[in-house]
Structure 1
């Protein structure tokens, strides 16, 4: 049975609007996801699904599969996996940065490190990061140093944005408590 979190419009507009972004929030309002009661507008969707709207495009179906592995025996499984991802990806990005400095034009080395990072991104469904990793690898294959540097900057930027969004996502889920428990979202 799906659990529903009924969010009071008055209490959550500011916080959720910041999380999902004003454009997404405007679309939610425009698409009439709310009941017609203007005094106490409620959203009948699972909190996890609703919050994942703010991550649409950043995560793919793989993240949903990771969420499916979470159960009562391991209620923090997804957050633990994401924490490990950020620890591992930070280490890999540091290795890539060092390789870019120490081994100029060693495209094979760069590509090997980026392949590891791409695999980590794929394992949690970090689609935007994965796409930038593929762009970096394409530049390596073409022997394009500038393309590699540009792509790596984008990888770092996507990493930072994803970290911030997932931290907000987990914070809001923790605040909601068990009623906000993850249900399979539509990505």
Structure 2
């Protein structure tokens, strides 16, 4: 048996995880288009783009949270700007459910509906955590697959006894 076969199993695990996320509506085809842009010249392209997305989204969620925590809050236009940014970047990586929650959040903010905005923020934060955890898991499996794929030595070679001294 070759260690390289482990890479095939890890690839199957990656595909199962992606399949689940598509089936749940967490991701859409935009994520696949992002993957197609990755090649040997930029092997970490998807990881890098998604990492930037998570860093920026964390700031936007923090800003939204900050606006809604303020009891005197009335600047729904400012909230709309943050939501538009989050919706745009979510769409660009294929984060479908986050984009959809942003739409509902935006509708609530357009109506100056603070209770609905608070509910939408909670949903958004939960969805963000779920996506973050699942994509983190995906990239961990991918990293293991790359490492497993790079090693092509039969297992027996690693278990051989050292040569006897004469």
TM-score bin, normalised by smaller chain: 0.7 to 0.9
C-alpha distance in structure 2 between counterparts of 1:83 and 1:52, whole Å = 17
C-alpha distance in structure 2 between counterparts of 1:179 and 1:48, whole Å = 14
Answer whether contact 1:70 1:78 (CA < 8 A) is retained. yes
Gaps of at least 5 residues in structure 2 are 150-166
Structure ranking higher on relative contact order (CA contacts 8 Å, 6+ apart):
2
The normalised TM-score by structure 2 is 0.77
- Tell me what 1:51 maps to: 17
- Tell me what 2:53 maps to: 85
Higher share of residues assigned strand? 1
C-alpha distance in structure 1 between counterparts of 2:85 and 2:73, whole Å = 19
C-alpha distance in structure 1 between counterparts of 2:8 and 2:43, whole Å = 21
Query: In the TM superposition, what whole-angstrom CA distance separates every residue of 1:133-155 from its partner, at most 9, and x where no partner exists?
Result: 11100111222111111001100
Answer whether contact 1:47 1:173 (CA < 8 A) is retained. no
Which of these residues, 75, 90, 100, is aligned with residue 121 of structure 1? 90
Which of these residues, 107, 113, 116, is aligned with residue 147 of structure 1? 116
C-alpha distance in structure 1 between counterparts of 2:43 and 2:87, whole Å = 27
Query: In the TM superposition, what whole-angstrom CA distance separates every residue of 1:14-50 from its partner, at most 9, and x where no partner exists?
Result: xxxxxxxxxxxxxxxxxxxxxxxxxxxxxxx855433
- Tell me what 2:73 maps to: 104
CA offset at residue 123 of structure 1? Answer: 1.1
- Tell me what 1:23 maps to: none
2:143 is the counterpart of 1:177: no
Higher CA-based Rg: 2
Answer whether contact 2:14 2:141 (CA < 8 A) is retained. no
C-alpha distance in structure 2 between counterparts of 1:75 and 1:48, whole Å = 16
C-alpha distance in structure 2 between counterparts of 1:172 and 1:48, whole Å = 6
Question: How many equivalent residue pairs?
Answer: 141
CA offset at residue 179 of structure 1? Answer: 7.8
Gaps of at least 5 residues in structure 1 are 13-44, 181-187
Higher share of residues assigned helix? 2
The normalised TM-score by structure 1 is 0.69
How large is the Cα RMSD of the aligned pairs? Answer: 2.1
- Tell me what 2:129 maps to: 160
